[in-house]
């Protein structure tokens, strides 16, 4: 072998700025950011994309991506994306939302946007708590899970059951592609990237609303090390939130994805 | 002979979450407790560079896009024991 055989198999994506993220060490928000940047780079859409940042841990997402971004009010990212997409139909629009933003404050917005079949892509991060404000109970918190606002564990008698957002949105006719993936291991991350690619292709080809739910870890608020948090996700979250494609419309199943 | 490779970890971004250390299939990486990054973390480094196959799993799981993966023989390491 000579030095000319050396090739770069992985590098920081072009869709990132040089800033260091404010996320806690090990937080899979960074993985989700990277997958979005890689997918948009592969599709050649970096200059043609507008992201909508949520309220939550990802509130500063606009600092880390190298393309246009706007900031929405809490939970209202799908409504804002709808307005921008209808004004600028040639752009790729995506919202990046956590479970407090999407499944709690913005449940009305996301259901309405999906039922209208808006041509937007939603990346939904599910880490079973409100990360930014200190780990309070979210609609996605598992039964019995201890959080800072449910110190004895979530009691389903008084606090209800967790919402499976992907399954819920899959029942709506306007949704073209709804999937759930996990970010706790390399295999799951590779599958997540393919799902994100499909979701953006669905929008590019005008087939309807697309959403990818990504199961994430929150080591700080769960009080676990990164490694233990990933194991906790695999043991507790995957049985309740199974990975899979919950809605693939006929047009999407016949879709061709170039260069994949 | 298995494929060879190496990784470069950008210490500006590394936050010592140990995800790459846990997931490396060849136990190439470790946390360097003798140094600190500008952010105050102990960075990951190649403790066994001879094991690296350039598979890229560390970079796939890295939450901060700190890792660049190369495949091939690292320039200046053709002879054993000359690790840079």
Q: For B5-71, CATH number?
A: 3.30.70.20
Handedness of CA B11, B14, B16, B21 (dihedral sign): negative
| Model pLDDT for residues A69-106, shown as the tens digit of each residue | 999 999 999 999 999 999 999 999 999 999 999 999 99
Query: What DSSP state is assigned to residue A60?
Result: G
Confirm whether A12 is domain-assigned: no
Q: Count of CB contacts below 8 A, A vs B?
A: 94
Q: Do A8 and B65 touch (CB under 8 A)?
A: no
Structurally, how many domains does chain A consist of?
Answer: 1
Token pair 């470790």: residue:
B30
Token pair 């194991």: residue:
A231
Burial (CB count within 10 angstroms: exposed 0-12, middle 13-18, buried 19+), residue A49: buried
Query: Is A187 in the B-facing interface, judged by CB distances under 8 Å?
Result: no
Query: Is A41 in the B-facing interface, judged by CB distances under 8 Å?
Result: no
Query: Is A29 in the B-facing interface, judged by CB distances under 8 Å?
Result: yes
State the pLDDT confidence band at A259, using cuts at 50, 70 and 90: very low
Confirm whether A101 is domain-assigned: yes
Handedness of CA B20, B22, B25, B30 (dihedral sign): positive
What ipTM does this complex have?
A: 0.88
Query: Is A184 in the B-facing interface, judged by CB distances under 8 Å?
Result: no
pLDDT at A3: 52
The partner residue sitting opposite B15, judged by closest CB among A16, A25, A186, is A25
Interface test with B, best of A4, A6, A37, A231 (most B CBs within 10 A): A6
Domain with A30, as residue range(s), is 21-251
Confirm whether A2 is domain-assigned: no
Task: Please give, rounded to a whole number of angstroms, the shortest distance from the CA of A89 to a CA of chain B.
Answer: 31
Query: pTM for the whole thing?
Result: 0.93
| Model pLDDT for residues A146-189, shown as the tens digit of each residue | 999 999 999 999 999 999 999 999 999 999 999 999 999 999 99
Query: Is B51 in the A-facing interface, judged by CB distances under 8 Å?
Result: no
| Model pLDDT for residues A195-242, shown as the tens digit of each residue | 999 999 999 999 999 999 999 999 999 999 999 999 999 999 999 999
Distance CA A149, CA A138 (A): 9
Interface test with B, best of A3, A20, A181, A228 (most B CBs within 10 A): A20
Confirm whether A181 is domain-assigned: yes
The partner residue sitting opposite B61, judged by closest CB among A13, A20, A189, is A189
Handedness of CA B75, B76, B81, B84 (dihedral sign): negative
H/E element holding A43? helix A29-43
Find chain A residues with C-beta within 8 A of B69's C-beta: 8-11
Distance CA A168, CA A190 (A): 25
Burial (CB count within 10 angstroms: exposed 0-12, middle 13-18, buried 19+), residue B77: middle
pLDDT at A114: 95
| Model pLDDT for residues B48-62, shown as the tens digit of each residue | 999 999 999 999 999
What percent of chain A is predicted at pLDDT more than 90?
A: 93
Q: Which CATH number belongs to the domain containing residue A49 in this structure? A: 3.40.50.970
Find chain B residues with C-beta within 8 A of A63's C-beta: none
The partner residue sitting opposite B69, judged by closest CB among A9, A29, A185, is A9
Average pLDDT over chain B reads: 88
């Amino acid at each position: 072998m000579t030095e000319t055989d050396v090739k770069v198999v992985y590098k920081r994506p072009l869709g990132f700025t040089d800033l260091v993220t404010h996320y806690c060490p090990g937080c899979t928000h960074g993985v989700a950011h990277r997958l979005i940047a890689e997918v948009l780079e592969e599709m050649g859409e970096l200059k043609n994309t507008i992201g909508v940042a949520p309220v939550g841990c990802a509130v500063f997402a606009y600092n880390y991506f190298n393309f246009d971004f706007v900031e929405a009010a809490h939970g209202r990212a799908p409504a804002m994306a709808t307005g921008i997409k209808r004004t600028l139909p040639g752009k790729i629009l995506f919202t990046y939302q956590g479970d407090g933003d999407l499944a709690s404050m913005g449940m009305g917005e996301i259901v309405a946007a999906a039922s209208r079949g808006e041509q937007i892509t939603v990346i939904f991060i599910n880490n079973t708590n409100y990360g930014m404000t200190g780990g309070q109970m979210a609609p996605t918190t598992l039964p019995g899970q201890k959080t800072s606002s449910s110190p004895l564990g979530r009691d389903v008698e008084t606090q209800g059951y967790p919402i499976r957002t992907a399954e819920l949105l899959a029942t709506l006719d306007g949704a073209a592609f709804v999937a759930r993936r996990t970010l706790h291991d390399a295999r799951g991350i590779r599958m997540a990237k393919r799902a994100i690619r499909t979701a953006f292709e669905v929008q590019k080809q005008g087939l309807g609303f697309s959403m990818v739910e990504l199961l994430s870890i929150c080591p700080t608020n769960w009080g676990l090390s990164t490694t233990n948090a990933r194991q906790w996700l695999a043991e507790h979250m995957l049985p309740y939130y199974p990975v899979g494609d919950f809605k693939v419309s006929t047009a999407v199943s016949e879709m061709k994805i170039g260069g994949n | 002979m298995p494929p060879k490779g190496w990784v470069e970890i950008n210490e500006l971004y590394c936050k010592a979450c140990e995800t790459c250390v846990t997931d490396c299939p060849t136990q190439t990486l470790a946390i360097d407790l003798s140094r600190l990054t500008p952010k105050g973390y102990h960075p990951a480094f190649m403790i066994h560079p001879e094991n690296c196959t350039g598979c890229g799993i560390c970079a796939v799981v890295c939450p901060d896009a700190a890792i660049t993966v190369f495949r091939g023989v690292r320039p200046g390491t053709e002879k054993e024991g000359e690790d840079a």
